[in-house]
Structure 1
Amino acid sequence: MHRLQRMSSTATGLKTVDYEIFGIVQGVFFRKYTVDQAQKLGLVGWVKNTTEGTVTGQVQGSADKIDSMMDWLKSSGSPKCRIDQAHFSNVKNVSNLEFNDFTIRH
């Protein structure tokens, strides 16, 4: 069983995805909760507010953890947010991570 689990986790590889979240996502600690969630999952990347009132960013890490983060971004977010839409783009496999941690950009 342990060997099978190890094989499945290494088979997932590394992935990167860009995201933009629409709704009430500014002024509700969305970025802070995004950093916390990414760190819990062991992911790297960044998040920032846009001038259009959305939140955008990039997340990188193991494919299964990326899938969990994408689910969280489109359905959970921060307690006081309202997510209307989540757009994901530039989803691709990568051989190396470009970031060392997950940060808020300004």
Structure 2
Amino acid sequence: MGTEDPNQLYSTEFEVFGQVQGCYFTKYCKEIAETIGIVGWVKNSKQGTIVGKIQGVKPLMDQMIEWLSTVGSPGCKIQKCDLTNSQQLARLDYHDFTIRF
């Protein structure tokens, strides 16, 4: 009981608050996502936050969320990372990770 399928795919939207624009956050986010094998997208919002959507298996998603919540790009100051619309997926919606404008 309670064993999760390690290959179960998940999707979540995120918004990172703090001093996160003007420090190449989206560029680093794309590099990290591609390194660990996460797909989705990221962009700067008009509100001064970073928003995006990530998809992948749970262990990799947890790594990515940890990076978005606590590490970020050099010189950024993360206040918090809100996750919304988290769900299980039958298959990925994206083939790669992109920066949107």
Matched, 1:57 2:55: no
Runs of 4+ in 1 over 4 A off after TM superposition: none
Q: What is the CA RMSD across the aligned residues, in angstroms?
A: 1.3
> 1:11 is aligned with what amino acid?
D
Counterpart for residue 48 of structure 1: 43
Amino acid aligned to 2:5: A
TM-score normalized with structure 1 length: 0.89
Calculate percent identity across the aligned residue pairs: 40
Q: Give the structure 2 partner of residue 31 of structure 1.
A: 26
In structure 1, the gaps of 5 or more residues are 1-7
| Match of residue 87 from structure 2 | 92
Letter of the 1:40 counterpart: T
- For structure 2, the 5+ residue unaligned runs are none
Q: Residue 96 of structure 1: SS of its match in structure 2?
A: coil
Shift of 1:11: 1.7
Q: Distance in 2 between matches of 1:73 and 1:11?
A: 24
In terms of Rg, which structure is larger? 1
Choose which of 14, 17, 32 in structure 1 pairs with 2:12.
Answer: 17
Letter in 2 for 1:91: S
Higher helix share: 1
Partner of 1:75: 70
Q: CA deviation at 1:56?
A: 0.1
